[in-house]
Amino acid sequence: MYFFGWITLVVISLCISLAAFIWALRSGQFSDQARARYLPLRNEFPPAPAKNPSKLTAEVYALLFIGGMGLLGLLAPVLLSLYRLKG
């Protein structure tokens, strides 16, 4: 029972990693590996900044959710360990 918090942390981390990997596969992140090696050598200007930077996009919400789940996953074993020490 003492290791329940750490096992929970590992399971949550594994699920988040697997979800990110599946998202990358579906969105085509790995589709053209031969081209990827030449991307740093391109001489292009960076894209123009957004016109309304205060508006949060779906990507920002997704990153906040993933970060929150990560913090929750890190906090759970600590709280469970403290609870175990009290009782």
Residue-by-residue DSSP string for 8-71: HHHHHHHHHHHHHHHHHHHTTTTS-HHHHTTGGG---PPPPPPS-TTS--HHHHHHHHHHHHHH
Q: For the chain, what percent of residues have pLDDT higher than 70?
A: 89
Full-model pTM: 0.43
| Per-domain residue ranges of the chain | 1-26+58-87
pLDDT interval class at 44 (50, 70, 90): confident
pLDDT digits (tens, 9 = 90+) for 70-87: 999 889 888 888 888 876
